[in-house]
Copies of this chain bind each other. A is one copy, B any other.
């Protein structure tokens, strides 16, 4: 069995986390790896129905996703996690949980600037926040604590997805995870 790992893609809504995760997943599958993209919406239904977007609820959700990612990675799966995870201490807890089990963990900061995320507004959430229809929007009226020392930082402004995915693949190879 190949070595599994969790690759957490943290960043604002619209930063490109899921798009990059899906592109990396394709490449890994083509290389014969078991891969799971732990999609935020499916996970909220399966694991965290009833939780909202307060700090406590976000932290609980991130911890649960981390718990599941570690279980998968422990069994040789590359778990790609495109989940905002706005709080540094909670991200650190998830990393520590992986370390405690000897399971590989990489943090990728998808560091696309807020202005660019707002310009894209893939899900229309920034427009709703601007119109006052939505609160607790990360980067707008809710905090995003940037990672100090991510394993990789990607800004997708003016970069194509293929190049971003390639850099994640290079990182995985560098760390002996492919």
Give the number of times this chain occurs in the complex, counting copies.
2
Alpha-carbon gap, A50 to B46, bound state (A): 17
Chain B minimum-CB-distance residue to A68: B68
> Is A121 part of the binding interface, using a Cβ–Cβ cutoff of 8 Å?
no
Alpha-carbon gap, A34 to B4, bound state (A): 12
Alpha-carbon gap, A1 to B32, bound state (A): 10
User: Can you identify 23 A-B contacts, CB atoms within 8 angstroms?
Assistant: A1-B34, A34-B75, A34-B76, A36-B71, A36-B74, A36-B75, A46-B63, A46-B64, A46-B67, A47-B47, A47-B64, A47-B67, A47-B68, A49-B60, A68-B68, A68-B71, A71-B71, A71-B72, A72-B72, A72-B75, A75-B75, A75-B76, A75-B77
CB proximity of A87 to chain B, nearest CB, Å: 17
Chain B minimum-CB-distance residue to A76: B34
Chain B minimum-CB-distance residue to A63: B46
A contact residues vs B (CB 8 Å cutoff) = 1, 34, 36, 46-47, 49, 60, 63-64, 67-68, 71-72, 74-77
CB proximity of A102 to chain B, nearest CB, Å: 15
What are the residues of chain B within 8 A of A47 when measuring CB–CB?
A: 47, 64, 67-68
Alpha-carbon gap, A67 to B39, bound state (A): 13
Alpha-carbon gap, A158 to B49, bound state (A): 43
Chain B minimum-CB-distance residue to A38: B71
Alpha-carbon gap, A173 to B53, bound state (A): 46
Alpha-carbon gap, A60 to B74, bound state (A): 25
What are the residues of chain B within 8 A of A63 when measuring CB–CB?
A: 46
What are the residues of chain B within 8 A of A36 when measuring CB–CB?
A: 71, 74-75
CB proximity of A104 to chain B, nearest CB, Å: 16
Alpha-carbon gap, A77 to B71, bound state (A): 10
